[in-house]
Chains A and B, each alone.
Chain A
Amino acid sequence: MKALLAFRSLFLSQVRGFTLALILSLVTLAAGIALLGTSGWFITAAALTTAGLAFNLFVPSSLVRGFSFIRILARYGERLSGHDATLRLLSGLRGWLFARLFPRLPLADRSLRHGDLVSRLTSDVDALDTAFLVAIGPIAAALVIGAALTALLAWLLPGAAWLYGFCYGVAVLVVPTGLVLTSRAAGNAVVQRAADARAAVLDGIEGHADLTVFGVLGTAQSGFAATSRHLAAVRGRLSTLTAIAGFAVQALAALALAGSLWLGLSAFAAGAIDGPVLAGLLLAIAGSFEATSTIVRSVGKLTTAMAAAERLTAIAEAPPAIVDPATPAALPADTTLALTGVTFGYGGPPVLDNLDLAVAIGEHIAITGPSGSGKSSLLALLLRLADPQSGRITLGGTALPTLRQADIHASVALLSQHSPLFNDTIRANLRIARPDADDDALWAALAAAGIGDFVRALPAGLDTMVGEGGRTVSVGQARRLCLARVLLSPAKILLLDEPTAALDRPAEVAFFETLHQAAQDRTVIVVTHAAIPDGTMDRVLTLRNGALTS
């Protein structure tokens, strides 16, 4: 519940729509109960009347028709306004989550699997989104209706008021609370198991070739079947609890109706109540439990929504590893980079140990070194994706932590080992680096990355879709498209992590030569295993045991 409260401001933004939906749903329920009650009273009164033509026909018959039409219109309006507000909330929630996610990147929690993240974004947001429509709204409406009818009973049939109030209160408050408490674990498990199933499908597809080659499709299939059986089992457990709670609500309604009938007939025998009023009241009581019929399902949804809210807040409210300064320094025009005494590690022994490095404006340096020696970590520090445990990194003499991250990222562009292509056109993929780039700039960047001719030869040229994860192009071509994207960016400092990993030797040599020309007015830091062609780099440094040597 606490996690759910974290979203109250988003809920409040749609408060008008939700209030309208709530009022209309109350009108719908009240009209339904009034219709039954009035009808019961009317026919009983008519049956008892002896002077037929003296009976006032007009009032009850118009009430009956009026309640009917109010109910029809209110129902339609309630559903439409409720859904509209809900869907508005949905886009708000999605935007909110994205806005929360970006400052928290890269996520510290490594177990946050990709499929899991997708699940959080879609299912959890959906579950949270419908919380009002299917959970909070019906419970609130049932409470109001129950209170109103209890008050009416207290006036007309005081003996039954306490019994009805008690049964209704237990049905609307106690049973749902009990269900929430008992089904929490099952609700959490459902979300978790669904995420597992999603991750298993992703593993199956992305690892399809590996699974086929190793002849372990059987293991993959039985693993997935087990995952989906687990999902079915936890949903079944949730359903058992829901069915029990549903029985409890119905049993309470039965008790209220039978009890009121008995008490009402006692009162009737004692002459404390009219026959027609009693008939009307009993029909109204029977009708009032219409409001509780959906409550159990509502609670199921509420539990799911609370589990979703917890997961969403867990990811969205985690403190960002890197925070912008309150009063950021202006971005210096000078793009000199300097690291002094930088020590950095992931909890174990330091990867970078008291490292010093100065890179002048426009200097091109290469960093080589054994795998895992911390070259990629060094690049991450320059982008302030992480902060060193000690030491100082400056850009143009200004310490990185005093600058806005957006300013740092505008000056420093990265081609990482995992740089992805998006399922979009080549043009859109490139423009991520510079949204206003014209086609000439795109072609220049493609040429510099050595892939201009390839793209020119494609039937759709820049409008070619590259497919998910760049599937329709080879790994080498995807890599070059990513490189073109980095070259297109207006950043003055380029960080390239293994830019030639997928290139053959002639292409690799050509790349270094092109880079030398194409990035003449920019600072370049290349992390590479390749042999550097002579004259293409100003300096070549080796990172070993946490320190740089030339």
Chain B
Amino acid sequence: MTDTDRHNAKTLSSLRQHGGPWLWLSILAPLTAGALLVWQAWTLAAVLGSAIETGAALDTLTPGIALILALLLARAALAAIGDRAGTAAAEAIKAQLRATLFSHLLARSPRAAEQPQSGAASAAIVDQVEALDGFFAHYLPAMIQAAVLPIAFGAIILPLDWLAGLLFLVTAPLIPVFMALAGWGAQIATDRQARALSLLTGRFADRLRGLVTLKLFGRAEAETAGIVAASDELRRRTLRVLRIAFLSSAVLEFFAALGVAGIALYVGLTFIDYLHLRASPLTLELGLFLLLMAPEVYNPLRLLAAHYHDRAAAKSAIGEIEAQLGKLPEAPAPLADIKPMPGTGPIGLTATGLTLRTPDAARVILANADLTIAPGDHVALLGPSGIGKSTLLEAVARLRIHEGEIALDRRPLADWPEAELRARVTMLGQKPRIFAGSIAHNIALARPGASTSDIRHAAERAHVAPFADALPDGLDTILGEGGLGLSGGQAQRIALARIYLRDAGLILLDEPTAHLDAELEQAVLDDLKSYARGRTLVIATHSLAVAARMGRAWRIAGEALLPTPLPARKGKGVA
């Protein structure tokens, strides 16, 4: 067993606590059913034995038959209760774990280099967590049964027949040893398979996002073949796992069959006086009881084998979840909404000796740069694309790490409490997310619980209302994920409307009008400027028409920030 393996197993058992009383019920119900089973087998053997050997009359046997029926029904009920309780426990654990993982994902910095791909993260939180289901719902109760019942059955049988009892007591504990031997190989292979499955899901997500592009480039057949090839590769890996995994169940099957056959031969040979290993003569009643119990001794182990892969799958899933999302946290991160604070005036921005790098730290964007923006200024941030305007805005919004100092209102950025920072500083990124939901829902994201009239007002300011009103459902129109069905300019204006629901002292906008025509761009800017009066506004742009509307301009050039003269205002300008 490797260290990772042990760590994963430990992590798994630490999750048990979230199962609560359901988990106990799922374990205790089958154990009780096991105790009833001994009673039932004994009664059945007694009824048959006394009828066949001693010719007891039917009416004296009727109570026994009724008891057998009652015991069978009680066991059926206990099995159903245990099953349902197992699911309840597993669901509680999974829901708790999902909430925990998701909250810690959100609690990290959105631009941290270790943030996972969205496809891989959703595979981890939804699918890999689902893979834990079998472990808690089935494997855990089965494991307890396998540990308790064979030994208990053996101990009950031992005083009745020492040889049968010994056979059970010796073979039953041996089985898990053999199974473990066969199972180790399977575990390693299962780990590899979980990784392959995750990659495959990531590949699907990635290719699906660009399916239309692939079609237009005539790649339909090649990509289809690629998916089939990837799935086939997964099949070969999986079969390699299964060939070994099934070996462990064959070992079990071998012992179980050996147990039944061995008892049958031993009892039969004793009856015909071929074997003389008992002090007292064997009754048919006892012989039948031993035979009835023989498969039952191995049944808990068979059940365990059926769910053995649940444990391997769960351990791999834990490993994969930790590989994608980092070490499993104990409890959900405390996340709360930040209430907008009433305006306390515009915020000034200074940066001294600022150095910024790309997330992978491979490239320097700004080195030792300085920047001063007075409270209430409207500033354009210029520079060729790819030079780092977006990175700078994100650093100011504390979404990226930086070296050197950024101060808002002369207070270092790091000293701002998160609540105050988010309430007072707002930002519109270059690729704002349009969430699944209605247009109104997307706008209200900026202030949960905003009134319909506030949303309406924001939609009008951002020039969303004209195109939304042309749609049959207006602002209640449902948008597809990723804003499909919207033009780039429409999505951007919906995101811009969010800004109007905040009451920020510093507004950071990244290319807010990139997809708009000159006429609409000016109209949007008119409203933006009138809203931003008495607030600090920084717009990263390469449109000179936008820059011309601002009060000042800064330019990123050669890893430095320089104040730059404003371009003259003359429509969509040429530099």
Contacts and interface: CB of A to CB of B under 8 A. Distances in A.
Contacts of A459: 362
A265 B253 contact: no
A498 interface: yes
Contact of A42 (B119, B268, B471): B268
Contacts of B542: 503-505, 507-508
Contact of A498 (B107, B201, B271, B515): B515
A203 interface: yes
A197 B98 CA distance: 10
Given A201-B118, A215-B419, A69 B257 contact: yes
A257 B65 CA distance: 10
Interface in A87-144: 87-88, 90-92, 94-95, 98-99, 101-103, 105-106, 110-118, 121-123
A84 interface: yes
Nearest to A118: B205
Contacts of B234: 87, 90-91
A25 B430 CA distance: 59
B218 to A, nearest CB: 6
Contact of B272 (A49, A101, A121): A49
Residue of A38, A372, A406, A505 with highest tally of chain B CB at under 10 A: A505
Contact of A246 (B79, B222, B386): B79
Contacts of B520: 370-371
Contacts of A112: 480
B122 A265 contact: no
Interface in B102-129: 102-103, 105-107, 109-111, 115-119, 121-122, 125-127
Interface stretch (A72-80, A332-340, A353-361, A440-448): A72-80
A152 interface: no
Given A205-B115, A205-B116, A474-B386, A529 B217 contact: no
A117 B208 CA distance: 8
Nearest to B382: A504
Describe A's contact surface by its main secondary structure.
helix
Interface string A406-426: 100110011011111111000
Nearest to B62: A262
A61 to B, nearest CB: 6
A225 B498 contact: no
B184 interface: no
B489 interface: yes
Q: How large is the interface on A (under 10, 10 to 19, 20 to 34, 35 or more residues)?
A: 35 or more
B217 A432 contact: yes
A102 B212 CA distance: 8
A234 to B, nearest CB: 10
A214 B103 contact: no
A274 to B, nearest CB: 9
B433 to A, nearest CB: 3
B223 A98 contact: yes
A57 B275 CA distance: 13
B257 A71 contact: yes
Interface stretch (B9-17, B153-161, B285-293, B405-413): B285-293
B239 A84 contact: yes
B117 A101 contact: no
Contact of B386 (A71, A121, A454): A454
A247 B216 contact: no
B369 interface: no
A215 B360 CA distance: 26
Contacts of B115: 205, 208
A529 B516 CA distance: 7
A49 to B, nearest CB: 6
B235 A88 contact: yes
Given A57-B272, A64-B265, A282-B48, A257 B72 contact: yes
A214 B426 contact: yes
B84 A239 contact: yes
A279 B52 contact: yes
Interface string B216-259: 11111011110110011011001100110011011001100110
A170 interface: no
Contacts of A250: 72-73, 75-76, 79-80
B65 A39 contact: no
A481 to B, nearest CB: 11
Interface string A455-486: 00001000000011100111111000000010
Nearest to A40: B291
Given A215-B423, A501-B514, A194 B433 contact: no
A191 to B, nearest CB: 12
A122 B130 CA distance: 13
B462 interface: no
A60 B93 CA distance: 51
Nearest to A266: B58
A35 interface: yes
B47 interface: yes
B231 A419 contact: no
Contacts of A118: 119, 122, 201, 204-205, 208
B260 A68 contact: yes
A255 B40 CA distance: 14
Contacts of A55: 272
A228 B95 contact: yes
Contact of A253 (B57, B72, B472): B72
Interface in A198-227: 198-221, 224-225
A509 B238 contact: no
Contacts of A501: 488, 514-515
Given A225-B95, A468-B202, 17 more contacts: A46-B272, A67-B261, A68-B260, A194-B126, A203-B436, A205-B122, A211-B106, A213-B422, A213-B425, A215-B422, A215-B423, A219-B448, A240-B84, A247-B76, A376-B487, A454-B386, A507-B542
13 contacts: A43-B284, A43-B291, A57-B269, A60-B268, A80-B243, A83-B238, A95-B225, A98-B224, A216-B446, A253-B72, A254-B72, A255-B69, A472-B359
Q: What 6 pairs between A and B have smallest CB-CB spacing?
A: A215-B338, A476-B385, A207-B433, A250-B76, A254-B72, A504-B542
